Amino acid sequence: MLLDPQLRARLERLALTNRTRLRGVWGGRHRSTRLGESLDFADYREYNPGDDYRRIDYNLWARLGVVLIRLFEAEDEMPLQVVVDTSRSMDFGEKFRTAQRLAAMVTYLALISGERVRLATVPEPGSTSLVGPWARHITSWPKLETWLENLHPAGGTDLVAASQIVATTSSRGPIVLVSDLLQTGWQQAIDLFGAARGGVVLHVLSPAELDPDLTGDLTLRDIETKREVPVSMSGDAVDRYRSRVQDFTAEASRRCRRVGLDYVLATADTAVLERTLRQLVAGGVAR
Amino acid sequence: MSFLAPAALGLVALAIPLIVLYMLRSRRQRLEVPSVLMWSGEEEFVSAALPWQRLRITAALLLQLLAIVGFAVLLGRPFFRETTLLGPHTVLVIDSSGSMATAGRLTAALAEARQLAADASAAQLVSVVEARAHPRVLAAFAREPEPVLAALDAIVPGGTTEDLAGALRLARGLATPDRPTTLLILSDGGIAGTIEEPVAAARHVIFDDRGDNVAVTAFGTGVPGEGATRLFLEVANFSVGPQTVTASLLVDGLEVGSVDFDLAAGERSQEIVTVDAGPGQAVAAVLSDHEDANPLDDSSTLVLSAGTDLTVTVTGEGSPFLNALVESVPGMRPAAGAPPDVLIVDGGDATIVDRPAWILAPQTPPPGITVTGRLEEPIITYQRPGEPILDGLDLSQLAIAEADIVDAPGWLPLVRAGEVPLVLMGEVSGHRAIYFTFDIVRSNLPVQVTFPILGARVLDWLGGNRVAATSTAPAGTPIGLAPPAGGSSTVTLPDGTTVSLGTEATTFTATAAPGIYSVQYLDDSGEPAGAALAARQFIATESAGGARQISTTLDESLTTEESSLLREWAPWILGVLLLIILLEWWVAFGRPRLRLRRPAPGAAS
């Protein structure tokens, strides 16, 4: 079970929000980029033959002598896509389990909010589409949870390709990216995600990555790329590493904000869900 | 720098395998990490083809090389020679006289002696002689520091004068025939002329710290009074500036009066005070609310005793001053025709003296004394230190018109003008005698405030101390004990400690500390059988705190090795090594990780 009952009960008292207009396929409760049939007045325009005469503003017609019809806001669903990074770099400590639980938390929150949600994984290099199921109702939760639990980190992934796929897909909802961003080109991927949809980046890193406790002469082996780096773990070297990691997370945060994405650094520890949820609420992603 | 084990320097060769280890490629532990992106920039150049790599001079390598050199040098036991006061056999002659209580001189001397004892090697013998009124050997031929330190702990400042000559004789007696013996005199120098100088095979370490000092230099009875006891009190200022002090008078510990003194630098002031005290009571003069360089001379005590009457007859020319003296001293009276106990021969013939006599400038000297000439206006240059008759009396203002120059073998000069004796102590026909070589009428002695005291003491001594109004004596003077047959004695010292003595003890000699000594006699069943009080006074000549360098000559037979101390550098090298190891650790692991573990970014709530 990815979510314990207490957390699910808390999530059921929240709902996802959207700070910008979006364009959905189906009607919903979020302000759309198009005009529609809601009760919220949007604008006037001149009457054209064929327009619904029930929208003619007779008061203006009598006062100004111009036939204008009232236009209203449309309300669409929020088609949310939760993209989980399944690269080998996520297979370290509790990172991938944390990513699964974070994705589950956001998915459950979307389903409770009545949104259409899709779970997908970052594709391997060369792929042209995201793979994962869509769901719209809370009754689909067991199926999505099972799908999430069956994910395993393996091989390499291509964040840039995933962002390009998302940018070109017809669905115009926000993206939730759950990844450690430990790939070259992560900056481009974030730019594309933000330009396409907006959303949240849940940056998952393990405590050992943030503050390593290593000594001696070591050969570090990248579990994803298999690249090896000989390093003498002096105190200065570890300090420089910490400094680089801080710069990395600061740069990711800054870049996300610049392209309209929310950024949450999720350290893979036991309290990560509580902490992340609190930050999402504070950031206005949920309320 | 010399080495005790130079072969150990060969361990420097350990630097070679260390350098080889640095040139060998290390077998690194392989560790999987999620990504090496963040470690870019930390890569080290590692050649996969050769087992060797270019030697890189790093701080760690330099520190390790330094540590190896340090260890090799440490094991080589480097040493240097330091000139020492110690020789193959050193006799520490430590002056514990009253003047050494000035400004912590004795404390400094004992500290120096302890340091020397600690520095002495097993091949060096150390003996300790305490120079005080009665010199004593406290440690002899000690090879270990413990007995020397125990002997030094037994030395406490007293109120006596030092007998440096006696102490040096004792020290010479400890000389070892098989090794050179050096006398190390730890003293403020004592009084010039008391020892023969230069002292051979000796060194003098002088302790001459000074400080302001005001002292009770004389406190005694002997001035007539009616019904009450009249006391003579003298306070002297040895400070460089004026001092104002109050001397409180205490009878059996209760204050009965006080006297204020305003003293210029170097001034002495005398007062005669009357207190309501009688035989058996202890009287003390204490400089209250006063602190100075020598606390031992800030009080003086005496015990009043009844004594017995002494009859005195003045013969010869007879001076009215002498008659007045005899009539005024308590416990003395003119013989009135009866055979006197003591005879005063003022001028006249002193050839026939059949009883104790005070002989003053006789026309015919007694047997054993020959007048060889006359000296006009002699100036007093010497008063025998520690002499009870002169204790506390300052005769420096005594002016004498002329005095006989006498040849008196076997007589002890008490007062001299240069080499000319003015007052001598000796015997005539087996009787005690005091001989003045000048006529007191032709001097200002009778008008000196000290005259009644001096006269009373002379007569008292001549009479066998029967008349003494006090049982007071200079510090260091033994206390005679008279326990009942088969009984014992217990003496309570001025500091409150109690010493139990056996049935055989007839004297108590540990009287260096000035103050009241309380003697309790016990009979053979342990029941109290009488008590007595005795007072011991600080010897006033020690209050001046004078210091001088004693002239010495070194034993030229001492070799350089015998007069130097071998000291190893080991502690310093060990310290440097620890520092190097600490630096090495810091270089290897960065700063000490004593800081609180920094919370992971994003972990903050």
Q: Please identify which residue in the block is written with the tokens 């080991």.
A: B570
Exposed/middle/buried for residue B411 (C-beta within 10 Å: 0-12, 13-18, 19+): buried
Q: Is A85 on the interface with B (CB under 8 A)?
A: no
B198 cis-preceded (ω within 30 degrees of 0): yes
| Residues contacting residue A157 through CB under 8 Å, at least 6 positions apart | A85, A86, A87, A121, A122, A123, A124, A125, A183
Contact state of B35 with A234 under an 8 Å Cβ cutoff: no
Contact A230 B29 (CB under 8 A): no
In chain B, the residue whose alpha carbon lies closest to the alpha carbon of A93 is: B34
Contact B60, B584 (CB under 8 A): yes
Residue B589 to residue A215, Cβ atoms within 8 A: yes
Mutate to test the interface with B, among A184, A220, A226 (most CBs of B within 10 A): A220
pLDDT of residue B25: 65
Residue A76 dihedral angles phi and psi, to the nearest 5°: -115, 165
Under 8 Å CB pairs connecting chains A and B tally to 122
Residues in chain A closer than 8 A to B38 (CB atoms): 182, 209, 241, 244-245, 248
By Cβ distance, the residue of B29, B33, B600 closest to A222 is: B33
Give the closest-approach CA distance of B59 to chain A in angstroms. Answer: 12
Residues 6 or more apart from B387 whose CB is under 8 A from it?
A: B414
How far is Cα B160 from Cα B157, in angstroms, rounded to an integer? 9
Its sign, for the CA torsion B154, B160, B164, B166, is negative
CA B446 to chain centre: 36
State the nearest Cα–Cα gap between B120 and chain A, in angstroms: 49
| pLDDT at residue number B467 | 45
CA distance B37 to chain A (A): 7
* CB-CB under 8 Å, A217 with B34: no
Closest CA to A206 of A193, A219, A190, A223: A223
B425 forms bridges with which residues in the sheet? Answer: B412, B434
List of chain A residues whose C-beta atoms are within 8 Å of the C-beta of residue B30: 218-219, 221, 228
Task: For residue A256, count CB atoms less than 10 angstroms from its CB and return exposed for 0-12, middle for 13-18, buried for 19 or more.
Answer: buried
Find the CB nearest A244 among B33, B38, B43: B38
| pTM for the full predicted model | 0.48
pLDDT of residue B602: 42
User: Residue B30 and residue A218: Cβ atoms within 8 Å?
Assistant: yes
- Is there a contact between A229 and B598 if contact means CB atoms under 8 Å apart? no
Q: Which residues numbered 148-187 in A keep a CB inside 8 Å of some CB on B? A: 180, 182, 184
Contact residues, chain A, for B34 at CB < 8 Å? 89-92, 95, 180, 182, 206, 209, 222-224
Any chain B CB within 8 A of the CB of A83?
Answer: no
Residues 6+ apart with CB under 8 A from B86: B116, B119, B120, B124, B126, B182, B184, B565
Nearest CA in chain A to B37: A182
Which residues of chain B does A89 touch, with a Cβ-Cβ cutoff of 8 Å?
A: 34-35
Quote the tokens at residue B580. 């190097």
ipTM reported for the complex, 2 dp: 0.82
Contact (Cβ atoms closer than 8 angstroms) between residue B185 and residue B109: no
| Residue ranges of chain B whose CB lies within 8 Å of a chain A CB | 26, 28-44, 46, 587-591, 597-598, 600-603, 605
Cβ of A219 within 8 Å of Cβ of B598? The answer is: no
Give the pLDDT of residue B593.
46
- Amino acid in position B73: V
Q: Which of A95, A221, A231 sits opposite B43 (nearest CB)?
A: A231
Closest-CA residue to B428 (of B345, B515, B496): B345
Query: If DSSP codes are grouped into helix, strand and coil, which group holds residue B424?
Result: strand
DSSP reduced 3-state for B333: strand
Chain B hits for A248, CB-CB cut-off 8 Å, are: 38
Token pair 């800030």 is found at B298
Q: Contact A179/A201 with Cβ under 8 angstroms?
A: yes
At B237 the pLDDT is 92
Neighbouring CB atoms inside 10 A of B211's CB total 15
Q: How far is A13 from chain B (nearest CA, A)?
A: 21
What is the pLDDT, as a whole number, of residue A197? 67
Residues in CB range of A99: below 8 A, 6 or more apart: A84, A85, A90, A178, A179, A202, A204
Residues of chain B with C-beta less than 8 angstroms from the C-beta of A236: 590
Question: How far apart are the CA of A71 and the nearest CA of chain B, in angstroms?
Answer: 45
Nearest C-alpha neighbor of B109 from the set B168, B155, B175: B155
CA gyration radius, chain B: 37
SS3 B89: strand
CB contact under 8 A, B30 and A278: no
Question: What 3-state class would DSSP assign to B37?
Answer: helix
Residue of B nearest to A88 (CA): B34
| Chain B CA closest to residue A228 | B36
- Pairwise CB contact (< 8 Å): A220 & B31: yes
Helix axes B320-328, B451-462, angle to 10 degrees: 70
Name the nearest CA neighbour of B552 among B168, B62, B26. B168
| Bridge partners (DSSP) listed for residue B306 | none
Contact B34 A218 (CB under 8 A): no
Separation CA B354–CA B339 (nearest Å): 11
Sign of the alpha-carbon dihedral angle for B29, B35, B38, B41: positive
Assess contact for A75 and A31: CB atoms under 8 A. yes
Cβ–Cβ gap B601/A218 under 8 Å: no
- Which two structure tokens, joined as six digits, stand for A247? 């710069």
C-beta atoms of A220 and B39 within 8 A: yes
- CA-CA distances (angstroms) from residue B592 to A214, A246, B144, B555, B579? 15, 22, 44, 58, 14
Host H or E run for residue A112: helix A95-112
CB distance B43–A229 less than 8 Å?
yes
Phi, psi of A286 (to 5 degrees): -135, 160
Other beta carbons less than 10 A from residue B442's beta carbon: 13
Taking the Cβ of residue A213 and every Cβ of chain B, the question of whether any pair is shorter than 8 Å is answered with no
Return the SS3 of B476. coil
Residues of B in contact with A214 (CB under 8 A): 31
For chain A, the distance separating the N- and C-terminal CA atoms, rounded to the nearest angstrom, is 24
**Partner residue facing A209 (CB), from B32, B34, B41:** B34
* Measured distance CA(A261)–CA(A254) in Å, rounded: 10
CB B282 within 8 A of CB B532: no
Give me the sheet containing B528-537, strands edge to edge.
B472-474, B528-537, B515-522, B488-492, B498-501
- Of B551, B561, B559, B564, nearest to B183 (Cα)? B551
- Does residue B96 contact residue B131 with C-beta atoms inside 8 Å? yes
- B588: chain A residues, CB-CB within 8 Å: 234-235
Cα A234 to Cα A221: distance, rounded to the nearest angstrom: 18
A270 touching chain B per CB within 8 A? no
The total of other beta-carbon atoms located within 10 Å of residue B89's CB is: 20
Is B32's CB within 8 Å of A214's CB?
no
Low-confidence ranges of chain A (pLDDT < 50): none
Query: For chain B, which residues score pLDDT lower than 50?
Result: 49, 223-226, 467-469, 592-605
CB distance B20 to B99 below 8 Å: no
First to last CA, chain B: 64
Inter-chain CB proximity B590 and A278 less than 8 Å: no
Contacts of B513 (CB under 8 A, 6+ apart): B156, B158, B159, B296, B475, B493, B494, B495, B536
pLDDT of residue B45: 59
Q: What are phi and psi of B460, to 5 degrees?
A: -60, -45
3-state percent helix, strand, coil for chain B, nearest multiple of 5: 20, 35, 45
Contact: B34, A224; criterion CB under 8 Å: yes
Alpha-carbon span B533 to B518, nearest angstrom: 5
* Assigned token pair, B446: 């009778």
